[in-house]
């Protein structure tokens, strides 16, 4: 392994100083001269026809500059289906569906004006459970979906019937997973500014500015170059700040155009819980066949996901999870059937691992059940079936790098699996779970492409501007990309200035989703940097009257390989190259599309979790004592950042496992839309987390790197569920595993 | 009705006219343009808006500006005079305690007040101190580590003095 100056080293965040001093600016910090404030009027009914909207009393209020309704928002938008309008036109489909909006001089005036809008509704029968929505005679939510199905997906390979016939043991279980909130610290918010009535800038707290801009341009009938999206620093995303999927993304520009003034709007904290496209609820049925020795012969997954009132990401998410379950183990007989169903609830989306944490929970919890039933060790059972490098999996994906078995071995060793299993203690339990996640994604209905862009420009002072299509929403993307650029170019890390989150100044790319920034964003940076370095060496060769092959770049200099003391500062070369007749700038760019080979993703991250916990039989309370998490991330470009991703992922996984849940009343109103009642784990709830980085060196990823951020979460609830069984003999099959559920199970036994 | 208030923020005295219902957080951000103090929940559950009021950490979203008349406020902007980072800021950066950064100001201000009264805390004490500070990104481990190493540096500095 070559000795790298930056790659593979723990480097503090390049924007750490900005953030530690409070100087980093987020969209929520922005204000403009003459700016107006705006907000939405939301439906109190889950399903109702809009008969009339009277805005006259709102219009008359001094300070109100514009009031709009569905008649003023003619565009439709969506992801899997174009089934949404910014403001509801004919009917509302969930409590909180937006029906009108006001722009005014301050928020007090906005609120007063909203309260003066009178909407006449005719209430319609509503349906809140996917099973009921699928049943004959259920209320129909969308005209083009008589069965309330928003999307179906299917993956099939081999024959599961044959697999079950060949198995020594076949079992079938149903699991339920909860709605979970992203809880972005910075809520969804935006600020719209028009120039000349035909050029929009939307400051948007976004993970994916390029695609947000495309969706807005399409909706407004503008050339995409006329819609600029700027993110600034982003206070967390976790999959929620993707595309333009929210009423405000369209309403703010409409109000801004109508008033000729900048318009700012955003979610309140309570709205952010429920209207920022939470992780949807799933019902997951799994049937598995196993040989006596633990060999899995085949698996059949049936997933019903609850879209809510609009499809948004949910059909795509449901499908993606099918692609992933077919990659984890070596069995070839595979059937995955997903059904995404409309209900009269707020709409869901994708949360860190796009529902894969939930599907894994079902599959892996069941493997733990099988191990217990057959008297097999759950770690050995997994290693026995684990996908390996070079495997062609049941969904057709060829896995070019895979450290799954190593991850399992390492977590078991680190937590003391064998020793503790041999010497069990009362009310204590050990559990294991493992998983796979993609690095980048092509999903049905989206273009067959998965690219990132990078542009590199050497400045006169020898520093480098690196513009990327990726957005740093917190995980340290700008640091990792800086490391890659500095490594390849031979400049100091401090000389790299990363520019992101601006569609006017950054290359086009899919932005931050699907654990793709380090690997796909990084590969684009690497290729752009390799080309820039070639230019640099050629320029230096001219200045030094030598062959570029004799030269190397490093430590901010270009020097002779044979006599490193002989060379020039990069700044000198840049200026020499620019300021002369027929001079040139050293600027390169790269658009890198991840090779698919028919796969959904070019590479897959693998990982495993081992958990030790204690159950209090008197209260049902679970206390997690330790989590060991191993992630095959290909290559850790920045181990400090990677460990931060794993710890953050495990934390969210523990939230999913033990407490977090959006609770709805009988009309679909959220009952716990505040921090006190929602119960995300606090610093006191989080146990010690031991992170293990497994480097399988992907042949395609930059320096061997793959993704890490989402795989970090996967496997945690399954390991917790297994450990709870180990501790007290109870399987909890619906998340979260609350004290209430566990106590009730313990009492019933 | 607006009240005339004199508030000292980061050592600088300000005269402000504020309505009774306005919070310290609003006055800091909107009147004084100190945007480093942030709101996440707006109801005192997340600690993001923590500032020091006469040295005591408070959720500035729950403090009325009128109650701060004549008092001393310290915000994140006061921690690095002339750009020299406070040891806690340095440790947060070095230990990887910052991801999206939205909770960071409140977390650092809480840590500063905590370490002033607990110069050599154990892990449980550190976790207890930041229990009221919400972070969605880090899982808290790096933050605990940063506060622990800050404590070592700060108490070392005191011994040196």
Residue A290 exposed, middle or buried by CB count within 10 Å (0-12, 13-18, 19+): buried
Which of B43, B102, B144 would best serve as a mutation to test chain A binding (most A beta carbons within 10 A)? Answer: B102
- What are φ and ψ of residue A642, in 5° steps? -65, -40
Element (H, E) at A152: strand A149-157
From chain B, the residues in CB contact with A19 under 8 A are: 98, 101, 104
Per CB-CB distance under 8 Å, the chain A contacts of B38 are 22, 26, 28, 185-186, 235
Residue the block writes with tokens 């069990």: A424
Which CATH number is A16-24+451-593 given? 3.30.365.10
Count of A–B CB contacts within 8 Å? 156
pLDDT for the residue numbered B159: 55
Tell me: pLDDT of A73 over 60: yes
* B86 and B62 belong to one structural domain: no
Region for A59 from its dihedrals, namely left if φ exceeds 0, alpha if ψ lies in -120 to 50, beta otherwise = alpha
Taking residues A195-212, report their average pLDDT. Answer: 96
Question: Does B70 lie in the same domain as B85?
Answer: no
3-state SS, residue A298: strand
Q: Which of residues 213-242 of A touch B (CB under 8 A)?
A: 233-236, 238
Question: How high is the pLDDT of residue A365?
Answer: 97
Last residue of one domain, picked from the residues B51, B78, B105: B78
CA-closest candidate to residue A295, choices A322, A333, A335, A337: A333
A731 close contact with B: CB closer than 8 A = no
Q: What is the mean pLDDT of residues A481-489?
A: 98
Helix, strand, coil shares of chain B, percent, nearest 5, are 40, 20, 40
Whether residue B86 sits in one domain with residue B46: no
- Give me the residues paired with residue A439 across strands: A603
Shortest distance between the Cα of A159 and any Cα of chain B, in A, equals 42
Which residues are paired to B7 by β-bridges? B14
Beta strands A464-468; A496-499: pairing state: parallel
Considering only CA atoms, give the Rg of chain A.
27
Is A444's pLDDT higher than 80?
Answer: no
Based on the domain organization, do B113 and B145 belong to the same domain? yes
Closest residue on chain B to A690 (Cα): B141
pLDDT digits (tens, 9 = 90+) for A146-157: 999 999 999 999
Best CA proximity match to A317, nearest among A86, A492, A514: A514
Q: Which CATH architecture has domain A31-124+185-236+241-275?
A: Alpha-Beta Complex (3.90)
CA of A623, closest CA in chain B: separation in Å? 15
- Contacts with B105 (C-beta within 8 Å, 6 or more apart), sequence order: A22, B36, B37, B38, B48, B50, B75, B76
Q: What is the dihedral of CA B100, A684, B95, A524, to 10 degrees?
A: -40
What are A273-289's pLDDT values in tens digits?
A: 999 999 999 999 999 99
- pLDDT-derived band at A443 (thresholds 50, 70, 90) equals confident
Instruction: pLDDT band for A290, please (50, 70, 90 cuts).
Output: very high
Distance CA A64, CA A256 (A): 13
Among B22, B52, B78, identify where a domain stops: B78
Predicted confidence band of residue B161 (pLDDT cuts 50, 70, 90): very low
Distance from CA of A734 to the nearest CA of B (A): 23
Q: Are A467 and A507 in contact (CB under 8 A)?
A: yes
Same domain, B111 and B148: yes
Which residue out of A206, A476, A683 would a mutagenesis test of the B interface target, given it has the greatest number of B Cβ atoms within 10 Å? A683
CB A37 within 8 A of CB A102: no
Q: CA of A639: which chain B residue's CA is closest?
A: B96
Q: For chain B, how many structural domains are there in total? A: 2
Which residues on A lie below 8 Å from B142 (Cβ)?
643-644, 647
Question: What is the DSSP secondary structure assignment for residue A29, as one 8-state letter?
Answer: G
Tokens of residue A617, six digits: 């039989």
Q: For A282-444+598-748, give the CATH class.
A: alpha beta
Instruction: Write phi, then psi, for A113 (nearest 5 degrees).
Output: -65, -40
β-sheet bridge partners, residue A603:
A439
CB contact under 8 A, B100 and A650: no
Query: What range does the domain containing B74 cover?
Result: 2-78
pLDDT of A704 strictly over 50: yes
The mean pLDDT of A2-31, rounded to a whole number, is 96
CATH number at residue B66: 3.10.20.30
What residues of chain A lie within 8 A of the CB of B105, using their CB?
22
Note whether B58 and B116 are same-domain residues: no
Q: For residue B158, what pLDDT is reported?
A: 59
Checking if the pLDDT of A707 tops 50, the result is: yes
Is there a single domain that holds both residue B86 and residue B59? no
Helices (H) and strands (E) in chain A, counts: 20, 26
Do B77 and A644 count as a contact with CB atoms less than 8 A apart? no
Beta bridge partners of B16: B5
CA A480, A483, A488, A493 torsion: positive or negative? positive
User: For residue B42, which residues of chain A lie inside 8 Å, CB to CB?
Assistant: 268-269
Is pLDDT at A1 greater than 70 in this prediction?
Answer: no
What are A359-412's pLDDT values in tens digits?
A: 999 999 999 999 999 999 999 999 999 999 999 999 999 999 999 999 999 999
- Of B63, B78, B93, the residue at which a domain comes to its end is B78
Average pLDDT of chain A, as a whole number: 97
Round to whole Å and give the CA distance between B78 and B114.
17
The nearest alpha carbon in chain B to A13 belongs to B93
Contact B140 A683 (CB under 8 A): yes
> Residue B1: its pLDDT value, please?
85
Range(s) of chain A covered by CATH 3.90.1170.50 = 31-124+185-236+241-275
* pLDDT tens digits along A109-137: 999 999 999 999 999 999 999 999 999 99
In which band, very low, low, confident or very high, does the pLDDT at A519 lie, cut at 50, 70 and 90?
very high
Which residue in the set B38, B46, B100 is minimally distant from A675, CB to CB?
B46
Per-residue pLDDT for A335 more than 90? yes
Contact A644 B142 (CB under 8 A): yes
The DSSP symbol for B30 reads I
Q: For residue A438, what pLDDT band results from cuts at 50, 70 and 90? A: very high
pLDDT of residue A598: 73
CA dist., res. A93 & res. A141, Å (int)? 7
User: Residue B103: its chain A contacts at CB < 8 A?
Assistant: 185
Chain B residues closer than 8 Å to A682 by CB? 131-132, 134, 140
> And the tokens for A161?
């019937």
User: Which residues of chain B have a CB within 8 Å of the CB of A182?
Assistant: 136
Q: Smallest CA–CA separation between B152 and chain A, in Å?
A: 19
Residues of B in contact with A24 (CB under 8 A): 101
Q: Which of B89, B99, B131 sits opposite A644 (nearest CB)?
A: B99
Q: What is the mean pLDDT of residues A545-569?
A: 97
- CA dist list (Å): A173 to A162, A394, A691, A716, A721: 19, 21, 31, 19, 14
Average pLDDT over residues B44-70: 98
Q: What is the pLDDT of residues B111-160, one digit of tens each?
A: 999 999 999 999 999 999 999 999 999 999 999 999 999 999 999 865 55
3-state secondary structure of A648: helix
């Amino acid at each position: 392994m070559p000795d790298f100056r930056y790659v593979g080293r723990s480097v503090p965040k390049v924007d750490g100083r900005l953030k530690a001093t409070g100087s980093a600016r987020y969209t929520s910090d922005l204000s403009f001269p003459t700016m107006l404030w705006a907000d939405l009027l939301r439906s109190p009914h889950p399903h109702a026809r809009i008969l009339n909207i009277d805005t006259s009393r709102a219009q008359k209020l001094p300070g109100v500059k514009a009031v709009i309704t569905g008649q003023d928002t003619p565009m439709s938008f969506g992801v899997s289906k174009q089934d949404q309008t910014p403001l509801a036109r004919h009917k509302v489909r969930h409590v909180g569906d937006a029906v009108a909006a006001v722009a005014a001089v301050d928020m007090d005036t906005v609120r007063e004006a909203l309260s003066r809008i009178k909407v006449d509704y005719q209430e319609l029968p509503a349906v809140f459970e996917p099973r009921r929505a699928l049943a004959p005679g259920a209320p129909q939510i969308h005209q083009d979906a008589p069965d309330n199905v928003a999307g179906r997906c299917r993956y099939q390979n081999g024959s599961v019937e044959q697999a079950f016939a060949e198995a020594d043991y076949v079992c079938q279980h149903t699991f339920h997973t909860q709605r979970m909130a992203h809880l972005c610290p910075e809520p969804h918010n935006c600020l719209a500014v028009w120039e000349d009535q035909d050029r929009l800038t939307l400051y948007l707290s976004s993970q994916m500015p390029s695609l947000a801009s495309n969706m807005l341009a399409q909706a407004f009938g503008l050339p995409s170059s006329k819609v600029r999206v700027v993110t600034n620093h982003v206070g967390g995303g976790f999959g929620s700040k993707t595309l333009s999927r929210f009423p405000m993304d369209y309403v703010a520009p409409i109000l801004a155009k109508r008033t000729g003034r900048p318009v700012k709007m955003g979610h309140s904290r309570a709205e952010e819980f429920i209207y920022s496209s939470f992780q949807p609820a799933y019902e997951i049925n799994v049937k598995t066949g196993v040989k006596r020795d633990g060999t899995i012969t085949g698996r059949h997954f049936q997933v019903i996901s609850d879209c809510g009132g609009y499809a948004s990401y949910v059909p795509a998410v449901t499908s993606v999870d099918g692609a992933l379950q077919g990659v984890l183990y070596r069995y070839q007989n595979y059937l995955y059937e997903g059904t995404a169903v409309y209900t009269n609830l707020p709409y869901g989306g994708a949360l860190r691992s796009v529902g894969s944490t939930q599907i894994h929970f079902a599959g892996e919890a069941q493997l733990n059940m099988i191990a217990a039933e057959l008297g097999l060790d759950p770690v050995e059972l997994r290693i026995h079936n684990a996908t390996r490098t070079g495997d062609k999996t049941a969904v057709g994906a060829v896995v070019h790098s895979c450290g799954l078995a190593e991850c399992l071995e390492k977590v078991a060793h680190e937590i003391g699996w064998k020793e503790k299993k041999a010497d069990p203690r009362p009310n204590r339990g050990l559990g294991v779970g493992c998983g796979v996640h993609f690095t980048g994604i092509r999903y049905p209905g989206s273009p067959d492409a998965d690219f990132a862009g990078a542009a590199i420009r050497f400045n006169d002072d020898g520093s480098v501007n690196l513009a990327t299509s990726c957005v740093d929403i917190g995980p340290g993307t700008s640091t990792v990309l800086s490391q890659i650029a500095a490594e390849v170019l031979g400049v100091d890390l401090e000389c790299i200035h990363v520019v992101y989150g601006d569609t006017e100044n950054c290359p086009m790319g899919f932005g931050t989703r699907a654990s793709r920034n380090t690997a796909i964003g990084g590969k684009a940076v690497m290729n752009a940097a390799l080309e820039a370095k070639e230019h640099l060496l050629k320029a230096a060769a001219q200045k030094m009257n030598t062959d570029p092959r004799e030269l190397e770049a490093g430590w901010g200099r270009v020097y002779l390989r044979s006599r490193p003391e002989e060379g020039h500062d990069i700044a000198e070369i840049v200026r020499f190259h620019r300021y002369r007749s027929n001079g040139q700038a050293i600027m390169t760019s790269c658009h890198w599309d991840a090779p698919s080979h028919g796969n959904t993703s070019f590479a897959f991250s693998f990982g495993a979790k081992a958990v030790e916990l204690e159950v209090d039989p008197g209260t049902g309370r679970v206390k997690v004592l330790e989590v060991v998490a191993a992630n095959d991330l290909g290559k850790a470009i920045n181990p400090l950042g990677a460990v931060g991703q794993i710890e953050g992922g495990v934390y969210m996984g523990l939230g999913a496992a033990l407490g977090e849940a959006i609770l709805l009343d009988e009309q679909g109103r959220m009952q716990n839309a505040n921090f006190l009642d929602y119960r995300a784990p606090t610093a006191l709830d989080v146990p010690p987390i031991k992170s293990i980085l497994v480097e399988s060196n992907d042949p395609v990823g930059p320096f061997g790197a793959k993704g890490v951020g989402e795989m970090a979460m996967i496997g945690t609830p399954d390991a917790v569920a297994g450990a709870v069984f180990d501790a007290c003999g109870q399987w909890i099959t619906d998340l979260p595993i609350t004290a209430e559920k566990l106590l009730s199970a313990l009492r019933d036994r | 009705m607006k009240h005339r208030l004199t508030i000292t923020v980061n050592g600088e005295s300000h005269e402000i006219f504020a309505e009774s219902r306005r919070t310290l957080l609003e006055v800091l951000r909107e009147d004084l343009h100190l945007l480093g103090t942030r709101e996440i929940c707006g109801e005192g559950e997340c600690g993001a808006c923590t500032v020091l009021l006469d040295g005591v950490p408070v959720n500035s979203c729950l403090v009325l500006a009128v109650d701060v008349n004549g008092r001393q406020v310290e915000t994140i902007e006061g921690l690095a005079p002339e750009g020299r980072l406070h040891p806690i800021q340095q440790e947060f950066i070095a230990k990887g305690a910052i991801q999206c950064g939205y909770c960071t100001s409140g977390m650092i201000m809480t840590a500063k007040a905590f370490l002033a009264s607990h110069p050599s805390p154990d892990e449980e004490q550190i976790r207890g101190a930041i229990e009221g500070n919400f972070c969605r990104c880090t899982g808290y481990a790096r933050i605990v580590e940063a506060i622990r190493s800050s404590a070592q540096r700060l108490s070392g500095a005191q011994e040196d003095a």
